[in-house]
Amino acid sequence: MKPFITQFLTTGFLIFVSLPVLAQNEEKTILGLWYNSDKSAKVEIYKCKDVKNEYCGKIVWLEEPTDEAGKPRLDRKNPDVELRSRPVMGIHLMSGFEYTGGSEWEDGEIYDPEKGKTYACNMKLQENGELEIIGYIGFSLMGRKMVWTRAE
């Protein structure tokens, strides 16, 4: 009977110790390059530098990075007048996402440079590898859903 108890305790301990590692691997699946819904931009999702356990994202590629005059596309619809002259390329448009377990990241914000608006946002990694993004004002049930695909 003694070997059974030792084996049981050892197995339990190994499972307990490995759970954080499994969670970290799941958590990291969000990292990398993603195409937006219409594949007009690539967004890099990464761990925020200044905040532990939060995820951010920035635009790293645009299908049309320049306007008709050949100049960089600007953030013209930004509500902050001082930011309207910044290029869309390189904008940090996602911030504050926290991994909540499973395949979900919540309590983030996403900025839409086409509308000049910032929305509360949640993300969920689907079983097929697509990233479901729901931006909303107020309640997430009334939000706009987008589906991003991995670009790597």
Question: For residues 125 and 103, is the Cβ–Cβ distance under 8 A?
Answer: yes
Q: Smallest Cα–Cα separation from 29: which of 101, 83, 113?
A: 101
What's the pLDDT tens digit per position in 86-117? 999 999 999 999 999 999 999 999 999 999 99
Phi and psi torsions of 60, nearest 5°: -115, -10
Which amino acid would we find at residue 76? R
Please state the pTM of the whole predicted model: 0.80
One-character DSSP codes across 5-68: HHHHHHHHHHHHHHHHHHHHHHHHTT-EEEE-TTSSEEEEEEE-SSSTTEEEEEEEEESS-B-T
pLDDT in tens, 5-38: 555 444 444 344 333 433 446 778 999 999 999 9
